[in-house]
A and B are shown apart, each in its own frame.
Chain A
Amino acid sequence: MAGFWDRILGRTRTAGSAETAKERLQFVLLHDRISLPPERLKMMKEEIIAVISKYVAVTGSDVDIALKQRDRHSNMLIAEIPFLKGIQPPRQDTVDDEIPLLTHEQDGDVNLSEVHDTRADSLNSELPPEATSSNKDQDLDRASEDGMSD
């Protein structure tokens, strides 16, 4: 009954094209603002899944990696990456220590930490201070100590 009166008074906004416009704009502006067009995001998503798959088995189709916006300046990547149920991939001891709460009987969700949209931030987080030294061999040794993939 309330719905009827609402319509009479023109209070409901029928699902017209304006809703679509708003959603499309929010989507496209998010990508515009951080210069990450949807195609590139897709490539990034595939690479992320590939890296994670080296350590744990994940189902590609259930993975959700999307940009979310809090306000004009605060945009982030939110990832939901369900692990495959029941399958125990071969793991090294170090990896077990890093994911203590997951057993092979549970689905595990991992939320990637916030990836901020400024390029400077992401560069800084990738390069350890030691990487700037000139001795290449030293760099490789340090990289494997940190557990980074080659």
Chain B
Amino acid sequence: MGAKAITVTSGKGGVGKTTTTANLGVALARLNKRAVLIDADIGLRNLDVILGLENRIVYDLVDVVESRCKLRQAMIRHKQFTDLYLIPAAQTRDKTAVSPSDMVEVVNKLRQDFDFILIDSPAGIERGFRNAVAPADEIMVITNPEVSAVRDADRIIGLIEAERKGPAQLVINRVKPEMIRRGDMLSADDVTDILAIRLLGIVPEDEMVIPAANSGVPVTLNDSSRAGTAFRNIARRLAGEKVDFMQLEPPLGAFRRFVQMLLSGRQ
């Protein structure tokens, strides 16, 4: 049974594609799934840093495509998980070094040895995006509950359908429940209504993401992190488990719980 290849994309930059890819990779490894992560952002290498593997890079994706090394040589094994690998991006300026068919070929070679192949797409809608989606079996669109991110996500969803890789699934990242309650942030329902694709996960804004990136230890390894828990839940859903969405509302105080109990009795 071959691997499932999932491309993580967004349209807009900075919404959390790399963070999501890294954390899902680690979360899947914790579920004993074999995973390989591919950084498809040529020229702007990032996935290695988030995973803490930046000083282990010898070869990269472009070296593989241009046959300067074997595929295995470019695969960096994670320190902690023996079945988690990274193929880093090149830091060249030539974005045409890789073509969509190159990507398909690389991914096909990986299929038999892994359960999941996660491809971290660059931002934008040009060649980097097309390279990243070419080998995908499924596409995960990351967005933030914010107007420009949602608009770009919509555009990318349209392009995904045009490439016949739809329907995509949605992850809403950096959600702030308190702001939603105040009416100052789009809710998950709002975003899902607008984009009209299936919701795969909701990840709350979590300060712990930054120190995690600082130390190169993905936040999902921190069991007390809410974002980490959300990533773990998404990984479980990818693995076929049915997982309820996290209760993101701030927990009610005792008085409010009492009142809510009274009210539900009346209803």
Contact = CB atoms under 8 A, between A and B. Distances in A.
Nearest to A12: B183
Contacts of B183: 13-19
Contacts of B196: 71-72
Contact of A18 (B187, B197, B249): B187
B194 A14 contact: no
Interface stretch (B30-38, B53-61, B147-155): B147-155
Interface string B167-211: 000000000000011111111001001101100000000000000
Interface in A25-40: 25-26, 28-29, 32-33
Given A26-B194, A72-B196, A9 B184 contact: no
Interface residues on A, range: 20 to 34
Contact of B259 (A5, A17, A24, A25): A5
8 tightest Cβ-Cβ pairs between the two chains A and B: A16-B183, A14-B183, A72-B196, A16-B184, A13-B183, A22-B190, A10-B181, A18-B183
Given A8-B259, A16-B182, A25 B151 contact: yes
B151 A22 contact: no
B73 interface: no
A72 B167 CA distance: 11
B214 interface: no
B151 A32 contact: yes
A104 to B, nearest CB: 45
Interface of B: 146-147, 150-151, 154-155, 157-158, 180-187, 190, 193-194, 196-197, 249, 252, 256, 259-260, 263
Secondary structure class of chain A's binding surface, majority of residues: helix
Contacts of A127: none
Contacts of B194: 22, 25-26, 29
B184 A18 contact: yes
Contacts of A43: none
Contacts of B263: 5, 9
A101 interface: no
Contacts of A8: 256, 259
